[in-house]
């Protein structure tokens, strides 16, 4: 038996009691609600209700007429559209994604050009939400894409357009795992903190220029990470151990880093730092920020001085990915529930392993290979990718 559906759209000034009146009218007519959605922008309400009529059980005409009268009584405008079951099913076969746009300002030009790309790919925008307060700096689109669309190719087009517009764009499949993230794994240097620790140690050892040159090439993926680390550490030979404490005391956290960790911990996330740097620093960051895990290389110190050697296996890109997976197994979560953040070429393996891998203010090669990259001043902007609004962050962080 075929179903007949009517999509009813009501718009107008918001006030208490509207949902109660509308759903009461539908219930009295013996009809069923297949779908319902309401949004309020400032004081203007938009209510959409998909009403399902099974042939022989109810008739849509009297109900639509009654809803028209009700809308007039409560000061709303009403429009409606009759849908067939085939039309409804065709709509439901489209896959949902979330597109997040963020920047210093998300202006009309950016929205127009991004939405045009979506339209050109036959992507429909179902819902738009503002995630920031005051100025429009982050907006989230819930979109549906037609079957067979190459979403990755469309995403590359969007990322290129975002670069020219000065905004960051992230595309994620909407679903349970987007909302069920439970572990965040962060790189340390130039991610959780704003410096490369080894460069600061080299400066105190008088070999700053030599070490910085090697670091830059290693982070861009031009050099083997393990070999580059050993070469840089060898240049630190003889550095007093007190220099490590001196560097730690002056470490500048990336803006938003403490907020990011505080908010996620209150949401029940497990937190980890996995670094190609040194455990002297990650252990202290773990204690200061209340992180659950910390892994890094052991810088060998004897008789109060750096020996120029690293103890134990090197935490390179492959090891970072292994450690991420080990933590997930220990916590009993899937990789889809993991967020990984980093900036260097040695972070790419763990970014690829995580359900959401984010290149944060990353080197050029990393931006090209990562599925998601953002260039924002504050690390807590990553919370927008989880659908959290600025208001949510304030409430949770208090």
Q: Which residues are catalytic?
A: 187, 189
| Edge-first strand listing for the sheet containing 44-54 | 32-41, 44-54, 3-13, 77-84
DSSP-assigned states of every residue in 194-249: SS-HHHHHHHHHT-HHHHHHHHHHHHTTSS-HHHHHHHHHHHTTT-BTHHHHHHHH
Residue from 186, 357, 360, 366 nearest 277 by CA = 186
CB atoms within 10 A of CB 130: 16
Q: Cα separations (Å) of 125 from 117, 185, 229? A: 11, 32, 47
CA angle 377, 105, 161 (to 5 degrees): 90
Residue from 201, 263, 278, 195 nearest 237 by CA = 201
**Residue that the structure tokens 């290129």 belong to:** 160
Residue from 273, 252, 274 nearest 195 by CA = 252
DSSP code, position 252: P
Q: Cα separations (Å) of 154 from 99, 282, 344? A: 12, 38, 25
Residue 109 and residue 101: Cα distance in Å, rounded? 13
């Amino acid at each position: 038996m075929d179903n007949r559906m009517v999509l009813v759209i009501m718009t107008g000034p918001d006030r208490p009691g509207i949902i109660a009146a509308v759903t009461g009218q539908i219930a009295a007519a013996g009809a069923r609600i297949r779908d319902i959605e309401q949004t309020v922008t400032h004081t203007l309400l938009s209510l959409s209700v998909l009403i399902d009529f099974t042939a022989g059980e109810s008739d849509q005409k009297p109900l639509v007429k009654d809803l028209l009268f009700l809308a007039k009584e409560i000061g709303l405008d009403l429009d409606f559209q009759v849908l067939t079951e085939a039309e409804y099913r065709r709509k439901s076969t489209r896959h949902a994604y979330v597109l997040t746009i963020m920047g210093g300002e998300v202006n009309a030009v950016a929205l127009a050009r991004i939405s045009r790309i979506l339209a050109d790919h036959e992507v429909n925008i179902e819902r738009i939400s503002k995630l920031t307060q005051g100025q429009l700096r982050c907006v989230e689109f819930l979109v549906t894409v037609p079957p067979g669309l190459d979403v990755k190719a469309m995403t590359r087009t969007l990322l290129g357009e975002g670069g020219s517009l000065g905004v960051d764009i992230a595309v994620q499949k909407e679903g349970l795992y987007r909302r069920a993230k439970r572990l965040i794994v962060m790189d340390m240097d130039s991610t959780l903190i704003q410096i490369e620790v080894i460069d600061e140690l080299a400066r105190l050892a008088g070999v700053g220029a030599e070490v910085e040159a090697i670091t830059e090439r290693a982070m861009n993926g031009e050099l083997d990470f393990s070999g580059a680390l050993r070469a840089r550490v060898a240049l630190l030979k003889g550095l007093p151990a007190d220099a490590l404490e001196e560097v730690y005391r002056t470490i500048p956290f990336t803006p938003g880093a403490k907020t990011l960790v505080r908010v996620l911990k209150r949401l029940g996330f497990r937190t980890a730092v996995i670094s190609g740097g040194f455990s002297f620093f990650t252990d202290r960051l773990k204690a200061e920020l209340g992180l659950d895990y910390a892994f890094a290389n052991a810088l060998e110190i004897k008789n109060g001085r750096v020996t120029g050697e690293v103890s134990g296996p090197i935490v390179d890109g492959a090891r970072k990915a292994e450690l991420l997976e080990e933590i997930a197994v220990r916590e009993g979560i899937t990789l889809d529930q993991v967020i990984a953040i980093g900036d260097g070429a040695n972070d790419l393996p763990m970014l690829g392993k995580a359900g959401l891998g984010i290149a944060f203010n990353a080197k050029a090669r990393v931006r090209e290979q990562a599925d998601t990259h953002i260039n924002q001043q504050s690390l807590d902007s990553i919370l927008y990718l989880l659908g959290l609004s600025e208001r949510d962050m304030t409430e949770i962080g208090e």
